[in-house]
Amino acid sequence: MNQTLNFLIQTINGEVKYDFSFTLLESINYNNWLKGDEFFNVSFTDNLTKPNYIPIGSVEFVCKYLKDYYKLIPKPKNIPFELLEECWTGRKVINGTEKDIVGEKFVKSNDKIKSFTEICTSAPKGNYQISEIIEIESEWRAFVYKGKLVGLQNYSGKFDIFPDVNKVKAMIKAYKTQSISFTLDVAISNNNTVIIEVHDFFSCGLYGFSNHNLLPFMFSSWFYYFKNQINYSL
């Protein structure tokens, strides 16, 4: 790399709060020690006063940074259209509006990240992903960088019920419009590995994922690809 990567890490009352921020700091310290130089640079802030940095913090923090400096707003990925077939979902999932909610469903906003997410029979006016409800035994987060599975962590349910890794890799391969780095959440339901949702790689809980060689680049690569509005595809 020809230039230092500059990270801006959110603090709250002067303190770092998020697990991914702590792990990223460990990765940065490791890389700077390994290379004997300041390969990465870090600044901290309670507010947004530093342009030309890679923002690391809450969804609200990163989205405000992208909106203020680049007039960009990330949208929810939820389940991408390539993975909406029941062979991947294990249930019926559709994109629609509040008018398409019939009976009790799991409903998540397609308009705004961290917006309406509920099991419900009705919702305010908007665009939603509407899913049948299934029984879930275990949930796992897959970490993906440049089209490859680079980590898999349990985050809910039984830790000893493992997903079908080959199926997870098949989901990644089928997801042609993927970001350069993202997470893919899957569940085990009735002995079947099914997709829950996809997240772009920012403000992501790591649940123990700590690949120091990749983590700074996963954050920075997503940011630059999104900032420059470049689509990464397999």
Q: What is the pLDDT of residues 20-65, one digit of tens each?
A: 999 999 999 998 888 766 678 899 999 888 888 999 999 999 999 9
In a domain, 208, yes or no: no
| Domain shared by 100 and 47, yes or no | no
Calculate mean pLDDT across residues 110-125: 96
| Domain shared by 156 and 122, yes or no | no
Q: How confident is the model at residue 230 (pLDDT cuts 50, 70, 90)?
A: low
Strands (E), the chain: 5-10, 40-45, 54-56, 93-97, 105-109, 117-120, 127-131, 138-145, 148-157, 181-189, 192-200
Q: For the segment 1-15, what is each residue's pLDDT rounded down to a tens digit?
A: 456 889 999 999 999
In a domain, 86, yes or no: no
- For residue 167, give every residue at least 6 positions away whose Cβ sits within 8 Å of its Cβ, in sequence order, or none: 193
Q: For the segment 138-186, what is each residue's pLDDT rounded down to a tens digit?
A: 999 999 999 999 999 999 999 999 999 999 999 999 999 999 999 999 9
- Above 50 in pLDDT, residue 234? no
In a domain, 220, yes or no: no
Domain that holds residue 45: 5-74
Q: For the segment 80-93, what is each residue's pLDDT rounded down to a tens digit?
A: 999 999 999 999 99
* Rounded Cα distance, 15 and 71, in Å: 28
In a domain, 223, yes or no: no
Q: How many CB atoms lie within 10 A of CB 58?
A: 17
Residue 127 backbone dihedrals phi, psi, to 5 degrees? -105, 135
Answer whether 233's CB lies under 8 Å from 80's CB. Answer: no
* Domain end residue (candidates: 46, 74, 102): 74
pLDDT at site 228: 87
CATH code where residue 160 lies: 3.30.470.20
Calculate mean pLDDT across residues 100-123: 96
| Domain shared by 9 and 53, yes or no | yes
| Domain shared by 125 and 143, yes or no | no
| Domain shared by 122 and 145, yes or no | no
CA distances from residue 29 to 96, 117, 147, 148 in whole angstroms, order as listed: 45, 37, 26, 25
* Domain end residue (candidates: 131, 151, 179): 131
In a domain, 160, yes or no: yes
In a domain, 210, yes or no: no
Residue (of 5, 47, 12, 11) closest to 27 by Cα position: 5
| Domain shared by 69 and 17, yes or no | yes
In a domain, 68, yes or no: yes
Question: What count of Cα atoms within 13 Å lies in the side-chain half-sphere of residue 70?
Answer: 21
As to burial, measured by CB atoms within 10 angstroms (0-12 exposed, 13-18 middle, 19+ buried), residue 53 is buried
| Domain shared by 12 and 70, yes or no | yes
| Domain shared by 144 and 172, yes or no | yes
The gap from C-alpha 198 to its chain's centroid, in whole angstroms, comes to 6
The gap from C-alpha 60 to its chain's centroid, in whole angstroms, comes to 14
| Domain shared by 162 and 193, yes or no | yes
pLDDT at site 3: 67
SS3 89: helix
In a domain, 13, yes or no: yes
Q: What angle do CA 56, 61, 63 make, to 5 degrees?
A: 100
| Domain shared by 96 and 111, yes or no | yes
Count of domains forming the chain = 3
